[in-house]
Chain A
């Protein structure tokens, strides 16, 4: 995973080889982003393995998101096995003036 911070958003890049668009699930649970992906079965080993260096399996990663992120506007995109997440930064909350309740006198 690569994380870059731009002016207005955070961008995350995650490698998920072998995962098609319909097999990836990005869910938001509270302050955690949960990314799940399942490798396409068509890429499962075919034939006798002669030399195996990487395993094509499922992916799961959870990322804790701080308070500076606007959780409503998270975007995700998957292309060529790379998942890109954009997390826009939230605007600082404006101060609110709290009026005093009028007490009967």
Chain B
């Protein structure tokens, strides 16, 4: 009997400190100790958690944690007032939270904050309060607006169906894969708009100027090369988007930088269909490597296609592109406020 009392005393100390943590989180104040109440409530017919478990009602209560019913009442009263409503509405909560006993039967016995506090709503509130303390700004690109819960979180809530985004690693990649056009599209959609063609040729020539005649001669070759790149790129790259791009907005222009070291400028194509900028190309094959033994390969080498969604309507007639030191830079002025017509 004496041993029992000692054990309970120790447990109370530990439970007390846990109770402190919870209550501090909510109210920010230290509750007054009420040793008197505690003793008297212990003297009442309070079954310990162990005894109750024997009687096979295993639902944990906040009373179990602090060690007494009095403190439990305090905790409950400190919880947000909506909690009592939620208890009533708990059965209609979707998805209905199974009681601890059912979950233990089915094998998932991991205790949750909601079990301790008694309701999912309270747990959510405390979690949001905790997470509000730490800055939650892991770098999330603004294009991924809807935060995507990790597969682990979704598995917990019961929907474990893997998605294309899980396989590819990001929602944006999944969107791009789904949007990718069919491979063997014939490229004779009438004369290419002059703006696109000029842009494409500007990309080819780097910073140098290109005459119209020379441009027309290269047109036929470029079309064929682009088809091949499309087809093989579809087979090749299914993983992280390549090339990686950075998009900047400096007030008057949209600037897109693409990380493309060692590419073949003859095959590079920059086109746009109004929805986005498409970069097609392949890396320059290294010369004189026949018969060589490859010891290590870390770099990507497949042909690539990537469509970068453009944020606003851009003036492609005045767009320019340069390729320097492995970085492809594409610039286009924004908006249609000023309209320039070049006289030839």
Contacts and interface: CB of A to CB of B under 8 A. Distances in A.
Contacts of A82: 261-262, 326
B153 to A, nearest CB: 24
Contacts of A53: 141, 241, 244-246, 259
B5 interface: no
Interface of B: 139, 141-143, 241, 244-251, 253-255, 257, 259-263, 284, 286, 288-289, 291-299, 311, 323-327, 329
A17 B248 contact: no
A50 B144 CA distance: 11
A103 interface: no
A6 B244 CA distance: 31
Q: Which of B141, B241, B254 has the most CB of A within 10 A?
A: B141
A40 B292 contact: no
A17 B246 CA distance: 13
A17 B255 contact: no
Contacts of B323: 80
A7 B291 contact: yes
Contacts of B325: 17-20, 40, 43, 80-81
A80 B262 contact: yes
Interface string A19-40: 1100000000000000000001
Nearest 6 Cβ contacts at the A-B interface: A81-B326, A47-B250, A81-B261, A82-B262, A17-B326, A53-B244
B299 to A, nearest CB: 5
A23 to B, nearest CB: 9
Given A3-B294, A18-B326, A51 B262 contact: no
A47 B259 contact: no
Contact of A51 (B247, B263, B289): B247
Given A17-B261, A43-B257, A51-B247, A80 B326 contact: yes
A45 to B, nearest CB: 6
B299 A5 contact: no
Nearest to A52: B246
A85 to B, nearest CB: 12
B261 A16 contact: yes
Contacts of A6: 288-289, 291-293
A10 B289 CA distance: 11
Nearest to A45: B248
A2 B262 contact: no
A5 B248 contact: no
Interface in A68-85: 79-82, 84
Nearest to B252: A47
A4 B289 contact: yes
